[in-house]
């Protein structure tokens, strides 16, 4: 069995930037264990598995160690593969996932991903959070992930994670540090304690970041930069109950997986 396979850098127009994702194009669904084994072998932040269905594609996302409920950058990568290799005349592609329906549009030389907007719940900055971070944030919010506000862009850029301490914040999947930006409207970084790694560019956390910063800055169109070593740029807008994330993508590898 041969599976078409792509590696695509999302939220960047340059090589070796943005967030790399694997995309497997299936003719029929695989067992979850098979998808997990492929994702572990690929060893990328996420691998998306897409399969044609009526009206679009199904999609699932796997890190090297577990399935995730939503991944923005891997959805953008999957859309790049679907639109450029399987629907070159199409203006958009629709995905169906456990979290609902997702749509990606062509937008100039890039793509625009439509995700559900989620305003996270503000919580107290506890001693536990402060000890785990090693710094005291100005504010904190929670959803799937923990979001903490730092004083400025330099504090985000210079933040050094202690994964052993961050793992004690086991209530949340990931830790997001964010602040107002100097050139961008806001900046952020995302850390996954379970993987002991920093995610280069994380589309899904912007489901919460965009409503937060739209409220704080009183504007619905925002430019965001994720300050990981690879870095990435997102053009964001809040439209009702959806967040729109615009960005480019670049093909790095095209091949086949043999099962």
Alpha helices in the chain (DSSP H): 32-42, 72-81, 127-133, 153-157, 163-166, 206-217
Q: Where are the beta strands (DSSP E) in the chain?
A: 2-10, 19-26, 46-53, 56-62, 67-68, 92-97, 100-107, 110-116, 121-123, 139-142, 146-149, 175-180, 186-192, 197-199, 221-226, 232-239, 242-247, 249-258
Task: Give the active site residue among 37, 46, 92, 198.
Answer: 46
Three-state DSSP at 85 gives helix
Question: Cα-flanking dihedrals φ and ψ of residue 108, to 5°?
Answer: 60, -130
Three-state DSSP at 40 gives helix
Active site residue 112: no
Under a CB-based contact definition with an 8 Å cutoff, are residues 61 and 85 in contact?
A: no
- Residues belonging to the active site: 46
């Amino acid at each position: 069995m041969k599976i078409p396979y792509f590696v695509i850098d999302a939220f960047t127009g340059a090589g070796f930037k943005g967030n790399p994702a694997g995309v497997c194009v299936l003719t029929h669904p695989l067992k979850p264990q098979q998808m997990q084994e492929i994702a572990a072998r690929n060893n990328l932040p996420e691998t998306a598995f897409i399969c044609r269905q009526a009206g679009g594609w199904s999609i699932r996302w796997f890190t090297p160690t577990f399935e995730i409920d939503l991944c923005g950058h891997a959805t953008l990568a999957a859309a790049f593969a679907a639109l450029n290799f399987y629907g070159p005349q199409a203006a958009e592609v629709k995905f169906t996932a456990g979290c609902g329906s997702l749509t990606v549009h062509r937008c100039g030389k890039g793509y625009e991903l439509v995700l559900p907007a989620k305003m996270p719940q503000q919580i107290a900055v506890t001693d536990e959070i402060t000890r785990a971070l090693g710094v005291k944030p100005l504010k904190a919010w929670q959803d799937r992930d923990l979001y903490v506000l730092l004083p400025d862009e330099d504090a985000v850029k210079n933040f050094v994670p202690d994964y052993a301490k961050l793992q004690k914040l086991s209530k949340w999947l990931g830790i997001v540090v964010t602040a107002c930006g100097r050139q961008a409207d806001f900046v952020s970084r995302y850390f996954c304690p379970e993987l002991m790694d920093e995610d280069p560019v994380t589309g899904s956390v912007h489901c919460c970041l965009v409503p937060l910063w739209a409220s704080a800055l009183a504007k619905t169109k925002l430019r965001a930069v994720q300050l990981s070593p690879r870095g990435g740029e997102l053009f964001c807008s809040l439209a009702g109950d959806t967040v729109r994330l615009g960005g480019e993508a670049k093909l790095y590898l095209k091949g086949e997986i043999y099962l």
